Structure 1
């Protein structure tokens, strides 16, 4: 008899209601792949894009989900011991092959990151894609130096909150934006030095704080405010385009001489699992356990609440990373 599992499937693009919790066939590990028993998975805006049918890649029907956290169920190639704690992300998960919205997922062993932690699965499930993106934006996109200043545009997003945590661990001065002053306490709780209300134009406020502008900026809102972010950055500084919370990611008419201030560099970051070194992941988890770092966990859902979870994600009411725990 074929083994089954619970999973969320999408047959065609549409509103949150197209997310259907079903009993489906469990995956079987192909050569080079491992099977992970999923304990929790984080939710990401790219999954909203996929669900709506506006993502640049992927096909239907599909089990979505670009990340998962759990334990090794089966590794036919012997890459990991059964029961080992692991995280996985990206690499086509939830787009070109079935992803993490399930009790089990099959992924290439090369995109699996081991760790050891006694933290609850709800907290661990918030980490992989959020940490990989925040770390890569700072380390690769900005090539940041300890003690520098940083602007995080879209600071109350899960990646924005994680970036603030990482930046403060590196002794950086953090300016972070939100559309509502009511969320200043959330920003301060992760170490933000200067929260700002984002009116669409914050460059003048940033320069009041730092004079010449920030050393680096992470753009998480989109190209609708990126020009202002560039003008918030000092000559010789760098802006890393990482996210598009506004769903604006294309500049219709890009004139570099007009968009780019003298000497300000523009980069981008969109990483894979290999962008998160095992040592960085373990250090972050250890810091969480000892209380010297925080994880910006927003709301925890059950699999049966996946439709509501997507509604909340779409409405930007989660207040941190949304996580689904798998019983």
Structure 2
């Protein structure tokens, strides 16, 4: 089989297309013929050498969709359409950047859908993360309030806009590029703020003098403290993204979290396997019905994996980048 192998830590050029043996099925694991995989920033960071316990060479890819090719689980017969996310895919064992992936049965989420493979591949990690983040914030259907999404043109940001726009909340989303404003508005954002770096205080206070009720923080470490200063007193900030890294230097909780304000997080590993199956099936139905948007920015072939990672490195995407074998 063909696979994109990360041979060492480094830039996009460390990804090489190689011929590898198709993995042999073993107890508790099934072989999936990969039909598509979404690219994620965490794979960029793994490629750069920032993920602990990752040994190279490694086939990256924390998610994929495809068809069961050989099964060790009677509830997952051959030919079943499945999705898989997280569970150390592409880190402790080879992931979705290949024509076949050997995956734990516990990760496989069976689906029935008419969606094309590239569209289906854009959904699992992105929409499960967006949904889990909104749940962690306490944003609910039919609710009210004001939601600020920082990093709005990331794939998770676009998905969160798509979901929350049907909830009845007022949404403001940020982007660093003026050219991406229209895409956020089309996705359902009521307001779009161009983040030129630093604090968003002036723009946010002009919209909401008391601040938003919720902040979905997808930029991560570099702007979390600023988000805590923006949210209304008693509001909630959920850190989900790591576009700017994972650590906040010299973080002082008592000094930096206003009294009564809540700081939480969501990790997409909580949506893997059985925990995410029901949610993902509902998301697929909503996309099929045109309620949610797949938000695909660009589709690459597996042979173009270096170009795909360079595209991701340069923050060119507005939404999801997908690779198909």
Which TM bucket (shorter chain)?
over 0.9
Q: CA deviation at 1:176?
A: 0.4
The residue aligned with 1:278 is 277
Q: Tell me if 1:142 matches 2:140.
A: no
Q: Verify the 8 A CA contact 2:233 2:260 in the aligned structure 1.
A: yes
Q: CA deviation at 1:271?
A: 2.2
Q: Verify the 8 A CA contact 2:84 2:273 in the aligned structure 1.
A: no
Q: CA deviation at 1:115?
A: 1.4
- Decide which of 32, 43, 50 is 2:28's aligned counterpart: 32
The residue aligned with 2:314 is 315
Could you report, residue by residue, the CA deviation over 1:102-144 in whole angstroms, capped at 9, with x for unpaired residues?
A: 11111111111111111111111111111121111111x3122
Q: Please give the secondary structure, in 1, of the residue aligned with 2:213.
A: strand
Q: Please give the secondary structure, in 2, of the residue aligned with 1:35.
A: strand
The residue aligned with 1:153 is 150
Distance 1:276 1:152 in 2: 25
The residue aligned with 1:226 is 224
Structure 2-normalised TM-score?
0.94
TM-aligned CA distance change 1:276 to 1:151, over 3 Å = farther
Q: Please give the secondary structure, in 2, of the residue aligned with 1:240.
A: strand
TM-aligned CA distance change 1:274 to 1:72, over 3 Å = closer
Which stretch of the first structure deviates more once superposed, 210-219 or 143-152? 143-152
How many residues align structurally? 320
- Structure 2 residue ranges without an equivalent (≥5): none
Which stretch of the first structure deviates more once superposed, 37-46 or 78-87? 78-87
State the Cα RMSD in Å: 1.4
The residue aligned with 1:125 is 121
Q: Please give the secondary structure, in 1, of the residue aligned with 2:233.
A: strand
Q: Tell me if 1:110 matches 2:97.
A: no
Structure 1-normalised TM-score?
0.94
Q: CA deviation at 1:57?
A: 3.3
Distance 1:219 1:276 in 2: 23
Q: Verify the 8 A CA contact 1:203 1:229 in the aligned structure 2.
A: no
Distance 1:294 1:147 in 2: 22
- Decide which of 193, 212, 215 is 1:214's aligned counterpart: 212
Q: Please give the secondary structure, in 1, of the residue aligned with 2:309.
A: helix
The residue aligned with 1:299 is 298
TM-aligned CA distance change 1:9 to 1:117, over 3 Å = same
The residue aligned with 2:8 is 12
Q: Tell me if 1:60 matches 2:59.
A: no
Distance 1:278 1:124 in 2: 14
Distance 2:151 2:280 in 1: 23
The residue aligned with 1:80 is 76
Q: Verify the 8 A CA contact 1:132 1:275 in the aligned structure 2.
A: no
Distance 2:219 2:52 in 1: 19
Distance 2:268 2:78 in 1: 27
Distance 2:292 2:251 in 1: 39
Which stretch of the first structure deviates more once superposed, 116-125 or 278-287? 278-287
